[in-house]
Amino acid sequence: MSMNDRRAYRSQLWFGALTAFGVMSTGCGALLGPDFHDVKSIPPNAGIVYIYRPSRFLGHDTATEVRADGVNVGYLFSSAYVPYYVTPGEHTFRAKNAVRINAVAGQTYYVKYTMKLGLVAGVPELTIETPTVGADEIRGCALLPGGYDGRDRI
Amino acid sequence: MGDRKTMRRFRAIAALVLLALSGCATVEYVPTASRQPTHPVGFEDVMVTYVKPAKGYVVVGRIETKHCGAIDQATLLLRRRAAELGVDGVEEVFCARNGLVNAGNCAGNAFLWSTP
């Protein structure tokens, strides 16, 4: 290999590395909104449901749709949460499975989204979390930018 | 000599690829009604939905994002712009899916509630 060939090879390596860096810095990982904090106030005659996905390595690069009463509230990325206002009564939250909450005005509920091992790909699972565990786990999450909070339905 | 030309071409293409990938995202607002928002609102006060809101609202303009590369980045920009404008929300947001060439190109109707 001549000197010129070596230079050309090195130069190509540098550009390859830079391009790869560019791709990784823009294309990977979800961009989230502000870190978790409680909603300013719960409107009268409404409850609040926090749907959150704790940070886990398993399936972190995939996001699936979560539906609240049939409406898409967003594609829940790892470390993301969506606050969702509900009227008193029964509400259904669905990813692959479904969970039901019988909401009471002024109460706070937590629905956890986790990714379980599947045969080919990860399978999303929703579970209702206790207020103590939910409030603790949601601390590491940030608001999902495109999330829908259902304020127009209360 | 031929090698140098190839290298130059290679550099030019690499530079273009980097430019395209690094932060050329744009977000544009087009007013479509005479009633317009007057004050900015908080990022989290803006409602973003892929469907029509369930209570009365008035469409005041259209917000579009381009060259974002991914839906989450596009909706983040969309929500930030909506907060700056002071609209109550963006409804019927439609985005090109991730993985497509125009991924992250989103558009939605900016609206104000009919009754605050």
Cα B109 to Cα B63: distance, rounded to the nearest angstrom: 6
Q: Measured on CA atoms in the order B27, B52, B113, A32, is the torsion positive or negative? A: negative
Each residue's pLDDT tens digit, B79-90: 999 999 999 999
Q: Which residues of B touch A27 (CB under 8 A)?
A: 21, 69-70
Distance from CA of A119 to the nearest CA of B (A): 24
Per-residue pLDDT tens, chain A, 154 aa: give them: 666 666 666 666 665 555 554 444 444 467 889 999 999 889 999 999 999 999 987 766 677 899 999 999 988 989 999 999 999 999 999 999 999 999 999 999 999 999 988 777 788 999 999 999 999 999 999 999 989 999 999 8
Q: Give the model's pLDDT for residue A24.
A: 46
- For A25, phi and psi rounded to 5 degrees? -75, -20
What residues make up the domain containing B44?
24-113
Cα B8 to Cα B14: distance, rounded to the nearest angstrom: 10
Q: Give the model's pLDDT for residue A121.
A: 75
Closest CA to B101 of B52, B74, B68: B68
Interchain CB contact of A9 with B (< 8 Å): no
- For B21, phi and psi rounded to 5 degrees? -90, -20
Q: Give the model's pLDDT for residue A3.
A: 65
Q: Which residues of B touch A35 (CB under 8 A)?
A: none
Q: Which residues of A touch B22 (CB under 8 A)?
A: 22, 25-26
Chain B residue with CA closest to A145: the answer is: B76
Q: Is residue B30 part of a domain?
A: yes
Cα A9 to Cα A126: distance, rounded to the nearest angstrom: 51
Each residue's pLDDT tens digit, B47-60: 999 899 999 999 99
Does the pLDDT of residue B93 top 60, yes or no? yes
Interchain pair B76, A18: CB under 8 A: no
Query: Could you give the number of structural domains in chain B?
Result: 1
Contact partners, residue B101, CB within 8 Å, separation at least 6: none
Amino acid letter, B66: K
Interface test mutation site (partner B, options A2, A4, A26, max chain B beta carbons within 10 A): A26
Interface test mutation site (partner B, options A14, A65, A77, A148, max chain B beta carbons within 10 A): A148
Interchain CB contact of B3 with A (< 8 Å): yes
Q: Assign residue B45 the CATH number of its domain.
A: 3.30.110
Cα A147 to Cα B58: distance, rounded to the nearest angstrom: 21
Q: Give the model's pLDDT for residue A9.
A: 63
Share of chain B above pLDDT 90, in %: 57
pLDDT top residue among A73 and B102: A73
Share of chain B above pLDDT 70, in %: 84
Q: Give the model's pLDDT for residue A118.
A: 78
Place of tokens 């409107």: A43
Q: Is residue B28 part of a domain?
A: yes
Closest CA to A91 of A115, A111, A113: A111
Q: Is residue B31 part of a domain?
A: yes
Q: Which residues of B touch A75 (CB under 8 A)?
A: 71-72
Q: Is residue B60 part of a domain?
A: yes
Q: From the list A19, A75, A144, which residue is nearest B14 (CB)?
A: A19
Q: Give the model's pLDDT for residue A26.
A: 44
pLDDT top residue among A13 and B72: B72
Closest CA to B26 of B91, B74, B70: B74
Q: Give the model's pLDDT for residue A16.
A: 58
What DSSP string runs through B43-82? GGGSEE-SS--SS-EEEEEEEEEES-SSHHHHHHHHHHHH
Q: Is residue B1 part of a domain?
A: no
